Amino acid sequence: MPPADNAERAPKRSVRLYDNTMREGEQTPGVVFSVEDKIRIAAQLVKTGIRHFEAGFAAVSSEEQGAIRAVVEKGFDANVFSLARLKEEDVAAALAAGVRHVVIFVPSSDAMIQARLSCSAQELESRIPHVVEWAKSRGLFVRFSCEDGTRTPWERLLKFSTVAREAGADCIGLTDTAGVGVPEKVARLTSGLKEEVKLPVAVHFHNDLGLAVANSLAAAQAGAEEIQVTVNGLGDRVGNTAMDEFVLAMRVGYGVDMGVDLIEMARLSAMVSDISGLDIPFNKPILGRNVFRHESGIHVQALLRKDIRTYEAFPPEWVGREHEVAFGKHAGKSNVRFLCREAGVVLDAEAETQIANRIKALSQERRQEISRAEVMQMIQEALKRDKPSAPMVAE
């Protein structure tokens, strides 16, 4: 049997995005967001089309609580969440910050319980109803999450989630806290929670094995209603599911439009990079500098023919970018011709070849690419050589 078409494997239910940049993203080592930063990020998230986001962890400090309240008081057309431990006082801090949506989490794996808590799994289970019911009695939307869910014994994950549902939780969260999940397991856990608990499932993945986007796609295919993302993939250690990568994987891979304004998403990425002080890696998918840069002459030849399908996953215009050509060891005549076309000049084939060979030699000698300015200088010199000299006039 031939493989299924991507459209056949696309998520059958609607999937929404939930941004965690202001809380999880700020846990990136060295990143600190001011109140003004969080307000700017929230405003740009709404412009981008993201209307569910976590503004912080209210119980951390009075300053954090104030920052969350400042975001709430801006009155954005969005659902603003605060994180809370399985403690009444944490939920109270979220209420004091003005949110109407809270994420209540509890460590659930053996590793988490043994390393961090001085109680048993049974004791934790007994606390769930009180805290969830207390939050619901205050009119809060409650997402209940088991921390380190992908390493939690299935029976415990199911039991904790079921107890939370019975106490009134609105949504169940599956978290891959250590970033050790793989797509097949993620799909099983997601579909299992949906079938057994019968509540919407939200998923949260870390990227320690480079699988955060793949796991998010697997969860979406398995029926998850909400995918948690961060701008530029910020987050603890090596980060979380990158918003841009998941959005474009859904659009290009499955033909699913997530309702995100891609140009505004690119602006959001640049803004967060500036605020966080962390440059976007040049080879990062979707928004890295090299996504639309080509050095190989064969690749550039395809660009000259305006057939981007050969070597690009999607048009650069989607994210406000343009094609770029680099000049290095693998450059060919097409690279030279591309720059000539941009400059509005024409060289003969022999001159193009000479310049291409010079670029290759210099690149290998210097062990780096040659700048556009230097190549343009070579082109100008060739044009001067090819220009016919003025005829001699007899005296």
| Residue (of 37, 42, 34) closest to 64 by Cα position | 34
**Confidence at residue 5, expressed as pLDDT on a 0 to 100 scale:** 60
How does pLDDT run across 36-67, given as a tens digit for each residue? 999 999 999 999 999 999 999 999 999 999 99
321 and 256 in one domain? no
The tokens of 353 are what? 């070849």
Which of 230, 246, 276 is the last residue in one of the domains? 276
296 and 263 in one domain? no
Residue % of the chain over a pLDDT of 70:
95
| Residue (of 182, 293, 248, 335) closest to 17 by Cα position | 248
Which of 276, 308, 334 is the last residue in one of the domains? 276
Q: Is residue 118 very low, low, confident or very high in pLDDT (cuts 50, 70, 90)?
A: confident
**Confidence at residue 391, expressed as pLDDT on a 0 to 100 scale:** 45
**Confidence at residue 395, expressed as pLDDT on a 0 to 100 scale:** 40
147 and 21 in one domain? yes
* Mean of pLDDT values over 71-86: 98
* Mean of pLDDT values over 113-132: 95
How many structural domains compose the chain?
2
In a domain, 78, yes or no: yes
127 and 212 in one domain? yes
In a domain, 354, yes or no: yes
**Confidence at residue 394, expressed as pLDDT on a 0 to 100 scale:** 42
Is the pLDDT score of 217 beyond 50?
yes
| Residue (of 116, 121, 124, 185) closest to 150 by Cα position | 185
SS3 16: strand
In a domain, 337, yes or no: yes
Is the pLDDT score of 274 beyond 70?
yes
Which of 219, 247, 276 is the last residue in one of the domains? 276
Q: Are 145 and 176 in contact (CB under 8 A)?
A: no
Distance CA 7, CA 119 (A): 47
Q: Is residue 233 very low, low, confident or very high in pLDDT (cuts 50, 70, 90)?
A: very high
Task: Kindly state the helix (H) or strand (E) to which residue 83 belongs, with its residue range.
Answer: strand 79-85
Distance CA 128, CA 147 (A): 13
Is the pLDDT score of 309 beyond 80?
no
In a domain, 393, yes or no: no
Q: Are 54 and 18 in contact (CB under 8 A)?
A: yes
Q: Is residue 385 very low, low, confident or very high in pLDDT (cuts 50, 70, 90)?
A: confident
Q: Are 149 and 177 in contact (CB under 8 A)?
A: yes
In a domain, 69, yes or no: yes
In a domain, 283, yes or no: no
242 and 177 in one domain? yes
213 and 351 in one domain? no
**Confidence at residue 7, expressed as pLDDT on a 0 to 100 scale:** 60
Q: Which residue has the higher pLDDT, 5 or 270?
A: 270
**Confidence at residue 155, expressed as pLDDT on a 0 to 100 scale:** 98
Task: Give φ, ψ of 357 to 5 degrees.
Answer: -65, -35
The tokens of 291 are what? 């996504």
252 and 352 in one domain? no
Q: Are 180 and 209 in contact (CB under 8 A)?
A: yes
Q: Are 86 and 106 in contact (CB under 8 A)?
A: yes
Is the pLDDT score of 335 beyond 90?
yes
Distance CA 336, CA 265 (A): 33
Q: What is the CATH number of the domain that holds 309?
A: 1.10.238
178 and 316 in one domain? no
**Confidence at residue 389, expressed as pLDDT on a 0 to 100 scale:** 45
**Confidence at residue 307, expressed as pLDDT on a 0 to 100 scale:** 76
Distances in Å between the alpha carbon of 169 and those of 90, 141, 153, 156, 232?
16, 8, 21, 17, 30
Q: What is the CATH number of the domain that holds 234?
A: 3.20.20.70
Distances in Å between the alpha carbon of 384 and those of 85, 111, 311, 351?
72, 72, 35, 11
Q: Are 212 and 179 in contact (CB under 8 A)?
A: yes
Q: Kindly report the average pLDDT of the chain as a whole number.
A: 94
Q: Which domain holds residue 54?
A: 13-276
Torsion of CA 40, 46, 51, 55, to 10 degrees: 0
In a domain, 284, yes or no: no
Is the pLDDT score of 392 beyond 50?
no
Residue % of the chain over a pLDDT of 90:
90
Q: Are 147 and 180 in contact (CB under 8 A)?
A: no
Q: Are 243 and 213 in contact (CB under 8 A)?
A: no
80 and 186 in one domain? yes
* Mean of pLDDT values over 95-123: 95
How does pLDDT run across 164-210, given as a tens digit for each residue? 999 999 999 999 999 999 999 999 999 999 999 999 999 999 999 99
Q: Which residues contact 143 (CB under 8 A, 6 or more apart)?
A: 81, 101, 102, 103, 104, 169, 170, 171, 172, 173, 202
323 and 225 in one domain? no
219 and 106 in one domain? yes
Strand intervals (E) in 116-247: 141-147, 171-176, 201-205, 226-229
**Confidence at residue 378, expressed as pLDDT on a 0 to 100 scale:** 97
In a domain, 183, yes or no: yes
315 and 185 in one domain? no
How does pLDDT run across 5-17, given as a tens digit for each residue? 666 567 756 899 9
| Residue (of 313, 174, 307, 227) closest to 13 by Cα position | 227
**Confidence at residue 367, expressed as pLDDT on a 0 to 100 scale:** 96
How does pLDDT run across 281-308, given as a tens digit for each residue? 999 999 999 999 999 999 999 888 877 7
